[in-house]
Structure 1
Amino acid sequence: MLEVNRPEFSALCIHDSFNKRLRIEDYRGNISSISHYIKREMNKHQLEKAIIKSRYEQVESWLKYGYRLEATIPSYFNGSTAYLMTFYESQERQVHNYYVKENNLLEKVQLLPLKCPETLVLPYKLRKAVKSDAKQLVTLYKTVFTIYPSPLHDLIYVQNILEDGTLFFIIEYEGEIVSAASAEINKVYHNAELTDCATLPSHRSLGLMKHLMVEIERELKKEYVYCVYTIARALSLGMNAAFHQLGYSYSGRLINNCFISKTLENMNIWSKDLSTLKNGL
């Protein structure tokens, strides 16, 4: 995270060279100046896409500078919606591949009934991940994803995030980690992104990810974090179905957002307000 301070504005930026994008996580000040800064940085670092988390009051201003709305995250800013405004420097990057296929999948998913996971059956065991799990986690992510947007193939990186207290849960089968997920908590705006979701192919269709999500939600509520969201591969029936059935709401699609497996993929946004829940959905 890079804090950029200029006379006209202040912004928190992430230069994501791996995914060839610039993310503006927060900002204040003159939008015209921020827009010029973004264009300069994109040209300087050969980035293809910019993503800005905007407040409602400034959406119209971003539209004037050529940005477009791709998705929202309700309640992101301590109860106020974040509007994900995007800008492209690459013609190819903004092409919406698989538009009909992804919409058909989404329609199919949203017809499914809401459903809480049943009791996790033995010998599967769910627990918090610890630093000594890092090696197995790296093996899991290398098996599931040829390429991943964050460096989960790097043992040192995984050890560090576990040591730093990232909310990470795993499911084991006979001592082997077969499924995992984490939550990145924004302590300023009290929201959390559910991410790093992976299950070994031989253990899918058992609803393991739903068990992980429910456990993470319980932990987040203990921290008084109620806005929860996730970014799911738009062509993944299993992941989109899992979040829909757990009561998450779809709120848009980020085009050619990040590299996963072998190519850039479109990603669906799903979110949930944990403050409205008592038990279950």
Structure 2
Amino acid sequence: MLNQTASIIYIEESNFFLEVYLDPFNKRIRVDDYRGNTKFVLEKAEELARQHQAEKLIMKARTEDNLQIYERGLQPEAVVDRYFLGSDAHFYSKFYTVERKKNDHWITEDGMIQSIYQLDIASGKPFPPKEYELKKADKTCAEELAGLYRQVFQIYPTPLNEPEYVKKTMEEGTIYYVYFHQGKIVSAASAEVNSFYKNAELTDCATLKEHRKYGLMKIILRELEGELKRLGIYCAYSIARSLSFGMNAVLFQLGYKYRGRLMNNCYIYDKLENMNMWVKNLAAC
């Protein structure tokens, strides 16, 4: 892609509006919002994909536009229930290179989802040893949070290994909860809040390997859910690496429902990965 820095652009013309996330690191473009003439929206989105040499176009679409999007050759990948102020969002994609469309793990990942749905739903709350302390993070935690993400992920789709970026996300409304052990952050996750459409993505889940046996992530995610409910946000979703049994199992056991898979979606951990979509209606809890 031409510009190597991720950015959001807004395009407003006489009969349509587009909000687009340009993501050069992951060689993709994502339409996060739109209104007006859907035909022109789709034409502009594809023009941007070509202009920025994207390998993948992603679109968060409204139900009423499904047929028009099919006609344009986009394929459904996932759904987030109640994303748009109570209406569903359909994630569509279009691939622009043969390599980006290939995948060797799809059947394995299908089997993993089947296995996860055989698990018992978690009842009760894990109780980690008293040396673990749960806190809501603020900007003073940014350096340590960046260090945690550097340790856990060789590659990550956003620059969370940079303290300034972590601070910027906090300023923009992202909520972080962390576990401290002996004064050091050992586990963290965040809620990226969309205050206009009243939804939130639970993301940036990371726990150091030696601290993974105590169920820290389940507690952090429950804490984030409580915070979202206090803010009047009931649509929560999370996108987990399709090859990570542990993270997908955590979401299932917390009551999230599987809603599809985003193929070759982003560079994370050590390669380009498929990502599973999980969704929960917090109002039903």
In 1, distance between residues paired with 2:98 and 2:38? 24
Match of 1:156 in 2: 164
Q: Tell me whether 1:20 sits opposite 2:27 in the alignment.
A: yes
In 1, distance between residues paired with 2:125 and 2:104? 33
Match of 2:223 in 1: 215
3-state DSSP of counterpart to 1:204 = helix
Letter in 2 for 1:95: K
3-state DSSP of counterpart to 1:231 = strand
Match of 1:178 in 2: 186
The two structures have a TM-score, normalised by structure 2, of 0.94
Structure 1: give runs of 5+ residues left out of the alignment: none
CA contact (8 A) 1:129 1:162 kept: no
3-state DSSP of counterpart to 2:119 = coil
The two structures have a TM-score, normalised by structure 1, of 0.96
Match of 1:102 in 2: 109
Match of 1:197 in 2: 205
RMSD after superposition: 1.2
Alignment of 1:18-97 (within 5 A): 18-97=25-104
1:59 and 1:221, CA in 2 relative to 1: closer, same or farther beyond 3 A? same
Match for 1:242 among 225, 250, 272? 250
1:27 and 1:184, CA in 2 relative to 1: closer, same or farther beyond 3 A? same
In 2, distance between residues paired with 1:187 and 1:96? 35
In 2, distance between residues paired with 1:95 and 1:233? 17
Structure 2: give runs of 5+ residues left out of the alignment: 1-7
Q: Tell me whether 1:4 sits opposite 2:11 in the alignment.
A: yes
Letter in 2 for 1:166: T
Letter in 1 for 2:181: Y
- What percent identity do the matched residue pairs reach? 42
1:139 and 1:69, CA in 2 relative to 1: closer, same or farther beyond 3 A? same
Letter in 1 for 2:169: I
CA contact (8 A) 1:120 1:211 kept: no
Match for 1:133 among 136, 141, 148? 141
Matched residue count: 277
Match of 2:4 in 1: none
In 2, distance between residues paired with 1:26 and 1:217? 24
- CA offset digits 1:227-248 (Å, max 9, x no partner): 0000000000110000000000
3-state DSSP of counterpart to 2:57 = strand
CA contact (8 A) 2:173 2:193 kept: no
In 2, distance between residues paired with 1:165 and 1:185? 6
CA contact (8 A) 2:128 2:214 kept: no
Q: Tell me whether 1:232 sits opposite 2:215 in the alignment.
A: no
